[in-house]
Every structure is written in C-alpha cells, then in structure tokens.
Structure 1
Amino acid sequence: MIDMLKHAATLSITILLLMVSLCAVVAADQKRYFPEGALDPASIRSDGFKNGWYSGQLEAMSEPALKPVAGMHTYRFTWLRTFHHPVTVRVVMDHARCTLHATELDGAGGYAPGKVYRQKVDELPPETCARLEAFIRIQGFWYIALRDSAVGADGSEWIIEGVTDRYRVVTRWTPESGPVRAIGERFLSLTGWTFPQREMY
C-alpha cells in the first residue's frame, strides 16, 4: 500500500513537471509583438507578462508585429476588455493608399482570445487618414507618458502603437478621458461598428 502511494505521488510530480515544462516551451515559442522593455521598463517581470498577454491576443487576430518601414506610417489601437471581445484597429498609410484593418474576436480580453467574430479590410479616403494622423499628433501621442500608475484587477487595456521612422507604444488601464481614450474612440469610429455603452470601458 505504501509503495502504491509512493508510486502515485512520484507519478503526480512527474506529470506536474511535464505540464510546467510544456507551458514554458509554449511561452518561449510565442511570438512577441513589443520590444523588450517597451511596456514596463521598470519591471522585467511585468513587461514580460504584458508582452505575453497582449501578444497572445494579437496573434489570435493574425496581426503583424509593427516595425518601421520606409515610406509607410502605421497606427494600431488594441482594446482588451477583461470580460468582452478583444478588438484591434490598424491603419496603414503609404504613398499610394490608406487601408483600415479591423478585427474583433469572440473571446475575452482578459481570458482566452477566441476566434474571429467579425473583420473588416477597407480602403480609406486620403483625407480621412490625414485627419487621423493629425488628430493623433494633436492629442500628443508622440510625447505623452508611455503609461500611468492606474492599475486594477478588472477593466480594460487601451494600447496604441505608432510607427513612422520610429516605433512607440502608449498604454492606459481603463481610461475614462484623456488622449489615449480619445485616440482609441477615434479608431473605433473608423470601423463603423457599434458597442453597447456598458461595454465601453
């Protein structure tokens, strides 16, 4: 009986170690969308956690990692609400045209991302994109603080990336006002999609 218990305990520990190893391999293989230290330069652990979380959602949306490309300006808003669908809106501007790429998943921003719920790819008028870029600049995207001290267990992550000849990412947790909220709402308006007011957090 004692031998059986020892065998069961050994087997349980072995299975647990295998599961931990598998999780580590999955984490190591996951695509990282943000430069190291970009999301929290003060904490390697926090930066890695956020990078893994945000990247997992973007990967489920089949989004690309953003990097500077000559002659191209790209902006992306990613909206991760704890209990509601993840959404990302990307606008790509080059000399020839301006394109909107929007994706909403059927999962939750704080849990499993799920699969594509709705998606849109649309060419935007040049003047619409010019106004968007001017709005982003006027709101101070290129010089406001990369993050603030507000945190919470539940809520939403508002993540805005900009790529011209340089890359920048700005994040806020559940902003009720301010430039990040204004820019995020501007991106959502470009999709033509509507969201219930109770989900606008």
Structure 2
Amino acid sequence: MFKHSAALSISIVLIIVSVWAVVITGQKRYFPTGALDPNSPGSDDFANRWYSEQLEAMSEPVLRPVASSRAYRFTWLRTFNHPVAIRIVIAKGRCVLHATELDGAGGYAPGKIYRRKLEAIAPEGCTKVEGLIKESGFWSLPPRGNIKGADGSEWIVEGAASHYHVVSRWTPGSGPIRAIGEQFLDLAGWRYPAREMY
C-alpha cells in the first residue's frame, strides 16, 4: 500500500513539474531548433521564444509542409508598434489570406487582437506573391542577416511547400525580405504611416 501511494505521489509531482516547466518555457515553439540562427544556439532560442510568443497571441498555427498545399507567412515585429502576421494558404486551387494585428508592441508584450482579416484572394494576387518569393531567391537565403539592433523591427518570412524555410532580417530598408513583406501588406490592404514602416 505504501509503495503504491509513494509511487502515485511521485507521479503526481513529476506531472506538476512537467506542466510548470512547459508554462515557464512557453507552450509552443513555432520554429524548428536552429532554423532562425543555426550558428548561435542562444540567439536561436531567444528569437524562437520571442517570435513564438507573438504568434501564439495571434492564434497562428505552426507552419509545416502539407501535401497538396503551400503556405507563406510574413510576421512583422516592430519594437514600439503593433505586431502583424499575414499568412496565405494555397490549396485546391484556392488562395486564402489570414491577417492579424495585435494591440501590443512587437518588442514588448504582444497584447490582444486589434483586428483580423480572413478572405479568399484572387489567384493572380497569390501568383504574384509566389513569383516574388521565387524570384527573390528566398528558398536559398540564409536564415539570419548580419545586421542586428536594439530598436527597430524584425521582418520574418516563412514558407512551407515541399519543405520549410524561414528568413528574418532586422529593419531592412531594401532587399528581398523587405519586398516580400511589403507585398504581403499590400495583399492584406493594410496601410501604415511612413514613420511606422521601419
């Protein structure tokens, strides 16, 4: 009786510790280990926790390759402005746009849902985005750029087609990730003042 009771108590303690550890470390990681910064485990883990917290607050799914579909997501985390994620899913000849903006700040607490958009997109709109992604060389770009900073923004583009790839750039003034991000914003029809386009 005592052995059974002790074993049950130990099992309960282990379950509680496991749940507590999940709460402390975050319930969901959106990016495979090493995908964001393969050369720096510490930086990779930090970025994964940061980006994942924002995406989880938006109720966004983890992107993975799925047969007969393609998905792309642009996540825009500005230090002092609302976090934004815009995702398109192409499957069965349809293209659907999912866009979410939170009322917090990309460099601080994510906040709550500020606005959402869910709508079917004309095929030519998605074709244009996919064309830009292909022409930009996105699938072969290194995950991390060389420029980092304290105040600015992360422009993160993910693709899940035959395989998964993610690229992030810090406050890009130009280049492929900037162009892809702007194309996603145009597709969503969301406009921002010039001072917030960093």
Deviation of 1:79 (Å)? 0.1
Deviation of 1:26 (Å)? 2.3
| Corresponding position of 2:125 | 128
Runs of 5+ unmatched residues, structure 2 = 1-18
| Corresponding position of 1:59 | 56
Deviations 1:6-61 (A, max 9, x none): xxxxxxxxxxxxxxxx9855233420000000011112111111100000000000
| Corresponding position of 2:87 | 90
| Corresponding position of 1:30 | 27
Q: In structure 2, do the counterparts of structure 1 residues 127 and 86 end up closer, same or farther at CA, with 3 Å as the change threshold?
A: same
Checking the alignment, whether the CA contact within 8 Å between 2:26 and 2:53 is kept in structure 1 is no
1:43-82 equivalences under 5 Å are 43-82=40-79
| Corresponding position of 1:192 | 189
Deviation of 1:150 (Å)? 0.3
Alpha-carbon distance in 2 for matches of 1:180, 1:53: 19
Checking the alignment, whether the CA contact within 8 Å between 2:86 and 2:98 is kept in structure 1 is yes
Deviations 1:96-128 (A, max 9, x none): 310000000000000000001010001011121
| Corresponding position of 1:173 | 170
Checking the alignment, whether the CA contact within 8 Å between 2:125 and 2:187 is kept in structure 1 is no
| Corresponding position of 1:11 | none
Alpha-carbon distance in 2 for matches of 1:117, 1:23: 30
Give the fraction of aligned pairs with identical amino acids, expressed as a percent. 63
Instruction: Judge which range, 95-104 or 74-83, deviates more.
Output: 95-104
Letter in 2 for 1:48: D
State the secondary structure of the residue aligned to 1:80: strand
Checking the alignment, whether the CA contact within 8 Å between 2:57 and 2:111 is kept in structure 1 is yes
Letter in 2 for 1:44: P
Deviation of 1:132 (Å)? 1.3
